[in-house]
Amino acid sequence: MTPTPELKSAQNLTSADYLASRVKEAYQSLGTENLSDVESLYASDIYFEDPLHAVQGRPALMQYFTKQFANLHKCAFKFHSTIVNDTDVFMTWTMFLNHPKLRGGETVRVEGASYLRTRNGKVYYHRDYFDLGSMLYENVPLLGRIIRKLKSRLGQ
């Protein structure tokens, strides 16, 4: 039996591939002004984890994002590769962020990856992987100089 055009369209709207494209679009330029776009990606029981926090539930995730973006001047992602199967998505990316307390507000670049699990057109599991040291510790004025010097010495 061949699916009707309406059924094919509905299947596309819930596919992990389609959801991956929506995630990329929402995260390209991230901030408090587009959190409703981000919120629409997630299931009510979303489990989100990154090197800083782990939260359960969409309200907790939106509260976490709101708090994180409150002091950011800019946060954007450039996506590099995406691997998708029926329900899972793995994406590599570079995050560019500007925070007044990191590197004097200059752009900080962080390489990372995300693993997403999907169900019925929504993300119910989101795990971000990135080097917290390269994002945070190396960009705090005094601590950053010490860490960069240590890395330089270890690399010799």
CA 141 to chain centroid:
25
CATH number at residue 72: 3.10.450.50
What amino acid is encoded at 33 in this protein?
E
Q: Which residue range is the domain that position 25 belongs to?
A: 5-100+113-130
**pLDDT for the residue numbered 32:** 72
**pLDDT for the residue numbered 57:** 98
What's the structural domain count of the chain?
Answer: 1
**pLDDT for the residue numbered 137:** 52
pTM of the model: 0.79
The answer to the question of residue 28 being in a domain is yes
**pLDDT for the residue numbered 69:** 81
- What is the rounded end-to-end Cα distance, in angstroms, of the chain? 65
Q: Which two tokens stand for residue 46?
A: 């979303």
* pLDDT tens, per residue, the chain with 156 residues: 555 444 444 445 558 899 999 999 998 877 777 788 899 999 999 999 999 899 999 999 999 998 888 877 888 899 999 999 999 999 999 999 888 877 778 888 899 999 999 999 999 999 999 987 666 555 555 555 666 676 666 665
- The H-assigned helical ranges of the chain are 5-14, 16-27, 35-39, 58-69, 132-135, 141-155
Rg of the chain in Å (alpha carbons): 18
